[in-house]
Structure 1
Amino acid sequence: MPDMSHDRKKEEISDWYFTHSDAILKFILLIVRDYQQAEDLTQETFVKAYKHYESFKGTSTPKTWLFSVAHNVTVDYLRRNKPIVLFKDFFGSYSVDKNPLPEDIVEIKEESKELYDAISNLKYSYRKIIILRKMKEFSTREAGEILNWSESKVKSTLSRAMVALEKELNKGGNSNEAISKTAKRS
């Protein structure tokens, strides 16, 4: 992208924040399973996007580039805090928060709880690819850009992840309805 004034850059990042911060927060939340930490990492994502704005070349969409930044920020966080994050209970972390989350932020409906529980039990790479491809509806190419994976790795990992998700859902005695809904998305 061409050099732009400080004000224009600030305005562009602000627009991107307004447009994409909610989706990025939800993406990070599904990975780290801690609302406060997801908020912090979302903020860090946009600070890094601002600092490294010049690295956005416009070859991908701003959304794809921001999700890539969010992914990298989240991976860095997980590397620093792996033992803490791995043993947190997905829904238990919400109950620690004294202020309940607004429904429009979390959007976890009762009938989807089993699906989110099952996804949270999957290994990290499977969780990431299901979230990006099936929940956030990124294309194979876009998911590959975000994760820095080849398209064939995205496809094969997604295939294995969907099998693992189905097993996880069946383990809990859940119907295949949730997996069918997820599999039908892009």
Structure 2
Amino acid sequence: MEQADLEYWFDEYSESVLTYILLMVRDYQQAEDLTQETFIKAYRHHQQFESRSSVKTWLFTIARNVTTDYFRKKHPLQHYFGLTLEEKDTKPIPEQLVAMNSQNEQLYRAIRQLKPAYRQVIILRKLKEFSTEETALILKWSESKVKMTLM
């Protein structure tokens, strides 16, 4: 694994990973920190990538795990009971991340209202366009659970 490969991964996927994490944690600064942590873990463990999935799927699996760990540490009761955190300020995401029109803004607000399990599936399947199989790999779920969550 070359340094150039790791830099390519960051250049290619960091914005997409940041958007995913931001929709989960609803805090831009925290999402940036967790995105950096995701890529640090990918760098430290790149030898474990076995090409059984795409690089993007592997990175999103790491991002999901980093985000889950964040919720376990920072909000243990909400994580345990599967509760969503109280909605923070619902102002649009900063312009440097996404230039949203009002329709997209409404969509993102609605997604932030979903319970975490539904939010993850919607983001991965519909916004990030992962297949059912890839979504199941990232979430460590069965494909049927992913399909049922979307129903």
Query: Is TM-score (shorter-chain normalized) higher than 0.5?
Result: yes
Show the counterpart of 1:138. 130
C-alpha displacement of 1:19: 0.3
Question: Mean alpha-carbon deviation: is it higher for 143-152 or for 75-84?
Answer: 75-84
SS at match of 1:86: coil
1:123 and 1:52 map into 2 onto residues whose CA distance is 30
Contact in 1 for aligned 2:92/2:105 (Cα 8 Å): no
Per-residue CA shift, 1:86-118, capped at 9, x if unaligned?
124252595xxxxxx225x22432122222222
SS at match of 2:51: coil
Match of 1:123 among 105, 115, 119: 115
Contact in 2 for aligned 1:34/1:93 (Cα 8 Å): no
Show the counterpart of 1:30. 23
Letter in 2 for 1:73: V
1:51 and 1:26 map into 2 onto residues whose CA distance is 22
Contact in 2 for aligned 1:126/1:158 (Cα 8 Å): yes
What are structure 2's unaligned runs of at least 5 residues? 79-83
Letter in 1 for 2:88: D
Scaled by the length of structure 2, the TM-score of the pair is: 0.88
Scaled by the length of structure 1, the TM-score of the pair is: 0.72
What is the root-mean-square deviation in Å for CA atoms of aligned residues? Answer: 1.9
1:90 and 1:122 map into 2 onto residues whose CA distance is 16
Letter in 2 for 1:81: K
1:47 and 1:39 map into 2 onto residues whose CA distance is 12
Letter in 2 for 1:77: Y
Show the counterpart of 2:146. 154
Contact in 2 for aligned 1:45/1:73 (Cα 8 Å): yes
Per-residue CA shift, 1:3-29, capped at 9, x if unaligned?
x4xxx1x22111100000000000000
What are structure 1's unaligned runs of at least 5 residues? 95-100, 160-186
- Percent identity over the alignment is 50
The structure with more radius of gyration: 1
Show the counterpart of 2:46. 53
Misfit runs of 4+, over 4 Å:
none
* Alpha-carbon distance change, 148 to 90 in structure 1, aligned in 2, over 3 angstroms: farther
C-alpha displacement of 1:54: 1.4
1:59 and 1:112 map into 2 onto residues whose CA distance is 34
